[in-house]
């Protein structure tokens, strides 16, 4: 008997013995099963700025995990070795780490938060959900780094146990999502709106790929959409592309393009716009949107100076969007 997976907009109808597009949700004897529950292939401790999250516990360490699999197949994927791998792959072994063990490890390593990242936390949904619930009861915050390609009902359920998310908005046209990512735009926009409305901290990442989504009008449209639907206080990270996976024919994004994108987004009314994957003097710092004072001085993933006082600008007193302690 076929089963339909209703987790993401792909709505895969899975034949017995087959998996969905994500490769990790399979039909065994007519029952939908997740093969990666409790089996992450990557466990690391990162700086939270690496996610990137710039407005959530700056300077803290974050316990980070991923299993194999993804429901999108972006031609430019930076982590394709694990996101596009099968659980059976001999060269991608997994750890055995059920939620209880993961939470214990996070505590043992003095990490205040736990990130579901690197690949796509939506495809290991049940593992993410159970771990997040347990982590929160242990006083650990939960962070999702996701493409947001998920159906409304499971997304709303998961958001109840999440504290912050960095969600990719990979492009602003449906055509871009279809051609580059094998997805569609609307569900991602819906996931972003729902996440922001749920009250969690939301930051957005847009990877700029030369010739595909680097036109000033595309960047302006993306910034406008964020301003109107998520609010001008939502931090936006413009990230630089490197030729990887199935997109090795394009050059890396230049700093000039990223700086142009940042300027456009600020002009469109976004308060916090950052540049990632390339060193940029101004593009990695947080400035007060009211008095323009430097609030957080960063160098790479390192915080050089944090002038915030109780989440406010010390000079003009403006409250800065974020979770600061």
Partner 1 sequence: MTRRKFIRKLIKAGSAIAVGASWLISKATPRKFIWAARVKKYPGPLKPLRDISKQGKWSG
**Among 131-139, 151-159, 267-275, 308-316, which window interacts with partner 1 (CB under 8 A)?**
151-159
**Is 228 within 8 Å of 192 (Cβ atoms)?**
no
E strand or H helix at 63? strand 61-66
Among 55, 58, 75, 79, binds partner 1 (CB under 8 A): 79
Among 89, 221, 259, 297, binds partner 1 (CB under 8 A): 89
Q: Does 125 bind partner 1 (CB under 8 A)?
A: yes
Among 9, 42, 136, 210, binds partner 1 (CB under 8 A): 42
Cβ nearer to partner 1, comparing 68 with 295: 68
Q: Does 66 bind partner 1 (CB under 8 A)?
A: yes
User: DSSP class of residue 277?
Assistant: S
**Is 75 within 8 Å of 180 (Cβ atoms)?**
yes
Look-up of token digits 């987004």: 265
Q: Does 25 bind partner 1 (CB under 8 A)?
A: yes
Cβ nearer to partner 1, comparing 17 with 217: 17
Region for 136 from its dihedrals, namely left if φ exceeds 0, alpha if ψ lies in -120 to 50, beta otherwise: alpha
Residue 310, Cα to own-chain centre: how many angstroms? 26
Calpha distance 228→225 (Å, rounded): 5
For residue 20, what are its two tokens? 């969905």
Among 1, 17, 90, 217, binds partner 1 (CB under 8 A): 90
Cβ nearer to partner 1, comparing 1 with 217: 1
Calpha distance 119→43 (Å, rounded): 12
Cβ nearer to partner 1, comparing 63 with 321: 63
Q: Does 254 bind partner 1 (CB under 8 A)?
A: no
Cβ nearer to partner 1, comparing 40 with 232: 40
Among 1, 96, 199, 249, binds partner 1 (CB under 8 A): 96
For residue 179, what are its two tokens? 């051609």
Cβ nearer to partner 1, comparing 44 with 305: 44
Residue 281 burial (10 A CB sphere; 0-12, 13-18, 19+): exposed
Cα four-point dihedral sign 220, 222, 225, 231? negative
Largest CA distance in the chain: 65
End-to-end CA distance of the chain: 50
Q: Does 78 bind partner 1 (CB under 8 A)?
A: yes
Among 2, 15, 16, 86, binds partner 1 (CB under 8 A): 86
CB of 267 to partner 1, least distance (A): 28
Residues that bind partner 1 (CB under 8 A): 5-7, 25, 28, 31-39, 42-47, 50-51, 64, 66, 68, 78-79, 82, 86-90, 92-97, 105, 109, 117-118, 125-126, 145, 151, 153-154, 157, 166
């Amino acid at each position: 008997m076929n089963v339909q997976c209703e987790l993401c907009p792909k709505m895969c109808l899975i034949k017995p013995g087959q998996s969905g597009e994500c490769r990790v949700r399979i039909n065994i004897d007519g029952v939908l099963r997740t093969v990666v529950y409790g089996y992450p292939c990557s466990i690391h401790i990162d700086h939270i700025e690496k996610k990137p999250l710039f407005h959530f516990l700056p300077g803290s360490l974050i316990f980070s995990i991923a299993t194999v699999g993804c429901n999108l197949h972006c031609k430019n994927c930076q982590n394709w070795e694990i996101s596009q791998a099968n659980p059976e792959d001999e060269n991608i072994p997994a750890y055995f780490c059920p939620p209880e063990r993961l939470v214990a490890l996070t505590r043992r390593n003095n990490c205040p938060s736990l990130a579901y990242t690197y690949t796509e936390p939506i495809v290991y949904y049940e593992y993410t959900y159970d771990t997040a619930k347990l982590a929160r009861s242990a006083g650990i915050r939960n962070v999702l780094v996701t493409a947001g390609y998920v159906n409304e009902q499971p997304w709303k359920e998961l958001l109840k146990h999440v504290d912050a998310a960095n969600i990719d908005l990979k492009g602003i046209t449906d055509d871009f999502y279809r051609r580059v990512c094998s997805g569609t735009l609307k569900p991602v926009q819906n996931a972003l709106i729902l996440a922001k409305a749920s009250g969690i901290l939301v930051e957005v990442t847009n990877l700029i790929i030369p010739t595909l989504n680097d036109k000033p009008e595309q960047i302006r449209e993306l910034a406008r959409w964020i301003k109107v639907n998520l609010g001008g206080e939502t931090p936006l990270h413009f990230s630089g592309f490197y030729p990887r996976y199935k997109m090795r024919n394009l050059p890396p994004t230049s700093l000039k393009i990223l700086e142009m994108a940042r300027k456009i987004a600020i002009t469109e009314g976004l308060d916090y716009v950052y540049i990632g994957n390339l060193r940029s003097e101004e593009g990695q710092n947080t400035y007060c949107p009211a008095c323009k004072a430097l609030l957080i001085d960063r160098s790479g993933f390192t915080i050089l100076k944090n002038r915030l006082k109780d989440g406010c600008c010390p000079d003009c007193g403006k409250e800065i969007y974020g979770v600061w302690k």
